[in-house]
Amino acid sequence: MPNPENLIAERHKTHGSFKTNAEVSQRLKQVIGANSAWGKYTDVQKEALDMICLKLSRIISGRSNEPDHWRDIAGYAVLAAQELEESD
């Protein structure tokens, strides 16, 4: 099992401060959740948006040139799109 402190230190390099990341992510989620259409979104859409907010916060708070952050955003968008295509 990996040492949690080593993992935290490693993530800090790419994600930045957990506290800053949490603040940015929560603010982004509050803005999106305040939209009157929020209740109409599927669970998959909501989760994809939440994860995209998290990834955006990592870009803003941590290393913006980390390719995985950008790939992950694209991946969550694709998962939401796939759900929509499957429901047609």
Taking residue 41's Cβ as centre, other Cβ atoms within 10 Å add up to 16
Q: How confident is the model at residue 51 (pLDDT cuts 50, 70, 90)?
A: very high
Residue 80, pLDDT above cutoff 90: yes
Residue 18, pLDDT above cutoff 90: yes
Which residues, other chains included, contact 51 with Cβ-Cβ below 8 Å and sequence gap of 6+?
Answer: 72, 76
Token pair belonging to 81: 């799109």
Residue 87, pLDDT above cutoff 90: no
Question: Domain count of the chain?
Answer: 1
**Structural domain boundaries enclosing 66:** 4-87
